[in-house]
Amino acid sequence: MSIFHNMNEGLHDICYIWWREMKLMVKDEGVIIFFFIVPIIYPLLYSWIYNNETVHEVPVAIVDDSHTSLSRQFIRMCDASADVRVAYYAQDLDEAKSLVSRQLVKGIYLIPSDFDEKVNRMEQATVSVYCDMALMLAYKAIFQTAQLVSMQMGNEIKTKLGRHYTKQEELIASKPLDYADVPIFNPAGGYGSFVLPGVLVLILQQTLVLGIGLAAGTAREENRYGQLVPMSRHYHGVSRIVAGKAMAYFMVYAVMGAWLLAGVPRLFHFPQLASWSSLVIIALPYILACIFFGMTVSCLVRYRENVMLLMVFISVPLLFMTGVSWPQSNIPGVWQGISWLFPSTFGVRAYVRLNSMGASLHDVALEYGILWIHAGAYFLMAYLVYSYQIRQAQKEIKIQHAAMKERVEQRKKNTK
Amino acid sequence: MKYLSQIALLVVRELDILRRNHLYAFCMVVFPILVLVFFTTLMEDGLPTEMPVGVVDLDNTSTTRSLTQRLDAFQMSRVVARYPSVSEAREAIQRNEIYGFLYIPKGTTDELLSSRQPKISYYYSYTTLAAGALLMKDLKTISTLGSAAVGQATMRAKGLTDGQIQTLLQPIRVDLHQIANPWTSYNVYLTTMIVPGMIMLFIFLISAYSLGTEIKFGTGKELMEIAGNNILVAIVGKYLVQTLIFLAIVFGYEFYVFYVLGFPNLGSPFMLILLGVIQVLASQGFGIFAFGLMPSLRMSLSVCSLWAVLSFSMVGSAFPVMGMDGPLQTLSWLFPLRHYYMIYQICVFNGYPIIDAWFHFAALVAFLLLPWFVMKKIKNAMLTYVYIP
């Protein structure tokens, strides 16, 4: 009987705390920003920024010292390519350089005066490419276009020089071993499709931690004694508090998670190879891990704003530690170790592989397992820091109570 | 003289605030240094090396094996496994074991020797853009080399000279000049944008935070009293110490990166100093302005952090601004980091004259002057606002 009574009471308390937390959430504008506005608006903004995926028509300047039909063919073919646009013709390299310095072009193609002559003499001709290395994507476009065009023109020249009998023989002679270039998973090499899945998963963790931290800060500041946990009939029993609060956050982030992990990719046509069920299966431990991680962090900050100073700057390093921008195989061991502390590392890896690469749940078993371990470990941590908080609160109250009693007695004495 | 003594008093007061609240020490010194160490050690190699690739060699002859060995010898690739089929290699990519693989079908050598033009393929994943692009380069080179080796043997048999063979294999050669960053180092390319961006983020936050806490702890009136009710004196006195600390951090970063690590710096040292000064002042201007617009600690901090995080995308270093939609290209002007980055890459990285970046200088000066619009509001806030949690 008493077990049932306890359970009933516990459920009541959890629901009470959950209800109170929900009320706090919608009242606090800081929490509203990080729980609702940022997760909804930011993905849209990022998707807009990266919506064009690749850069086309990168402007280049041409310095044509050759002035022959062959050099003009080279220029025409470059201009006709998707990635490069011939924006200026410069008289010499200095003029072209000043065009680069004024940001009018991103690179220079220099065709030397002996270009045509060399080709006709059966010597190797060169085309010089000068790249502004400030933008990697522009460099890639400029260099690869020059390479492609020179290879194409080279093949034409080769077949002319080779003295072959049949078309087929020409073809084989120009390329004895054929090859196919097959980019898989994000075949267009789009920037958005590559970076955004990681960013979406990271937004989920960061907004959760910021929101929970702000909510905790508010609770602390509104509390008369500056304590995180209010003294109330319902707030005894650490597990009840942790469970009640987590339930409130989970409710919001079940919706936000669906929006971030499934809605946004669908809206902007980013890769989405994972099935609903596997997304749910991976999101569950991830969101739980993030919630308990957030609750642990929230106990460490004294003032509500401090959590922003601590958590915002860490976003960019966290993104790099997931191995999306910089290959995971090349992250130094120290940082690999530190990255294991954050749920986002494994959340991003699992999500990218499930959703962008079409892996099965079996392939991300390691990440999945670690996310559950994170959820468990951070739950324990949250439990410990909360019970510490409660003990602190009780101690404080006792001291205050004793002080009050003393004052009352003092007054009684005085009146006598 | 009166102003000077007031400022001196405020500086002493500010020093005391910075000493008492440890958060300042962390956000102004510890975290920026941590971020600098993080990015410079993360990308220490400049380019990712020895990335794991696989091979699906169904032909398994000495020719194809030598192809595999040569791929392994490349700096960026390391052949870690052989797979019996393409689908197993693909699954290995999905398990995150390799980033790409070379597929050599059965009979390749036979067809090659009887010149029936066999076809090999290479697969690479673009979910990690840098790894994919770099591996593609290696895999493509190895495939062309395979082609060239056969052609070379045939031509030599026909009695052509080495020079002629080279011409016949590649009639037009691309002579690449990678200006200022010949190593294609990602460290040079990313660290020089992200670390200053991080420092600017901290300047935004701390600038808004230190004004906001005056209201939060109810010391705004005291601040104005010491400043003789002159808001300009109050702002200058309050931020002077912070400016100096941030300048030290920025100069420390510049010294470490450009002189210790030897990152390309074609401009003059004078330019670095100028860039550092305008970076710190413009960021402080933005932070104070954000607070002036919304004199509430939490709102101004939120705006500053959201703006700063967005800067890393709008800066247009990884994904160029010219590739974005038109409205975004204009919006990028509203981000101080964008202007900082443009000045950096024009005047420091490439070493072009400062006149070519005049617009971005003007923009940063405008950010520095922004607080002028909200001075009155800040004064009002300091004198009358009461903190509501």
Closest residue of B to A354, CA-based? B94
Contact B123 A191 (CB under 8 A): no
Segments forming the whole domain that contains residue A111: 58-174
Contact A150 B180 (CB under 8 A): no
> Does the pLDDT of residue A221 top 80, yes or no?
no
C-alpha span between A136 and B292 (Å, rounded): 38
From the list B117, B309, B350, which residue is nearest A312 (CB)? B309
Closest CA–CA distance from residue A195 to any residue of chain B (Å): 8
Indicate whether A227 and A356 sit together in one domain: yes
Q: pLDDT higher for A204 or B296?
A: A204
Closest residue of A to B97, CA-based? A329
- Rounded to the nearest 10 degrees, the angle between the axes of helix A238-258 and helix A2-27 is 50
Closest CA–CA distance from residue A408 to any residue of chain B (Å): 31
Closest residue of B to A366, CA-based? B95
C-alpha span between A149 and B172 (Å, rounded): 9
C-alpha span between B122 and B83 (Å, rounded): 14
Question: Strand A84-89 relative to strand B51-57: parallel, antiparallel, unpaired?
Answer: unpaired
Contact A358 B115 (CB under 8 A): no
C-alpha span between A39 and A256 (Å, rounded): 7
Closest residue of A to B123, CA-based? A182
> Does the pLDDT of residue A202 top 60, yes or no?
yes
Q: pLDDT higher for A160 or A89?
A: A89
Closest CA–CA distance from residue B368 to any residue of chain A (Å): 22
Could you say which DSSP state residue A33 is in?
Answer: I
Contact B174 A356 (CB under 8 A): no
Indicate whether A359 and A214 sit together in one domain: yes
Indicate whether A122 and A221 sit together in one domain: no
Contact B94 A363 (CB under 8 A): yes
Indicate whether A383 and A273 sit together in one domain: yes
Segments of chain B scoring below 70 in pLDDT:
388-389
Indicate whether A201 and A341 sit together in one domain: yes
% of chain A with per-residue pLDDT over 70? 94
Closest residue of B to A115, CA-based? B172
From the list B205, B302, B324, which residue is nearest A52 (CB)? B324
Do A177 and B117 form a contact (C-beta atoms < 8 A)?
Answer: yes
Q: Check residue B167 and give its pLDDT.
A: 82
In a domain, residue A157? The reply is: yes
C-alpha span between A401 and A384 (Å, rounded): 25
Whole-prediction pTM value?
0.91
Do B195 and B39 form a contact (C-beta atoms < 8 A)?
Answer: yes
Which positions in chain B touch A162 (Cβ < 8 Å)? 168
**Average pLDDT in the A91-109 region?**
93
In a domain, residue A24? The reply is: yes
**Average pLDDT in the A45-58 region?**
89
Per-residue model confidence as pLDDT tens digits over A321-380: 998 888 888 899 999 999 999 999 999 999 999 998 888 898 899 999 999 999 999 999
Whether domain B51-169 has CATH 3.40.1710.10: the reply is yes
C-alpha span between A2 and B107 (Å, rounded): 78
Contact B212 A129 (CB under 8 A): no
Angle at B84 between CA B81 and CA B88, to 5 degrees: 80
In a domain, residue A415? The reply is: no
* Interface size between A and B, measured as CB pairs under 8 A: 327
- Mean pLDDT rounded to a whole number for chain B: 90
Closest CA–CA distance from residue A231 to any residue of chain B (Å): 19
Closest residue of B to A318, CA-based? B38
Q: Check residue A169 and give its pLDDT.
A: 73
- Mean pLDDT rounded to a whole number for chain A: 87
Residue to test with chain B: of A54, A71, A194, A309, most B Cβ within 10 A? A309
Indicate whether A247 and A384 sit together in one domain: yes
From the list A122, A183, A305, which residue is nearest B124 (CB)? A183
Residues 6+ apart with CB under 8 A from B5: none
Count how many domains chain A has. Answer: 2
Per-residue model confidence as pLDDT tens digits over B118-174: 899 999 998 888 888 888 888 888 888 777 777 777 778 888 888 888 887 888 888
In a domain, residue A185? The reply is: no
In a domain, residue A186? The reply is: no
Indicate whether A21 and A85 sit together in one domain: no
Residue to test with chain A: of B108, B114, B129, most A Cβ within 10 A? B129
Q: CATH 3.40.1710.10: which residues of chain B?
A: 51-169
Angle at A198 between CA A196 and CA A202, to 5 degrees: 115
Tell me which range, A79-83, A218-222, A389-393, is most confidently predicted by mean pLDDT.
A79-83
Indicate whether A162 and A309 sit together in one domain: no
SS3 state at A134: coil
Indicate whether A11 and A123 sit together in one domain: no
In a domain, residue A140? The reply is: yes
Indicate whether A20 and A74 sit together in one domain: no
Residue A163, domain CATH = 3.40.1710.10
Residue to test with chain A: of B188, B319, B348, B349, most A Cβ within 10 A? B319
In a domain, residue A184? The reply is: no
Closest CA–CA distance from residue B69 to any residue of chain A (Å): 18
Indicate whether A307 and A401 sit together in one domain: yes
C-alpha span between B211 and B217 (Å, rounded): 10
**Average pLDDT in the A41-51 region?**
91
Q: How confident is the model at residue A67 (pLDDT cuts 50, 70, 90)?
A: very high
Contact B48 A326 (CB under 8 A): yes
Q: Check residue B49 and give its pLDDT.
A: 86
Closest CA–CA distance from residue B3 to any residue of chain A (Å): 32
Contact A312 B325 (CB under 8 A): no
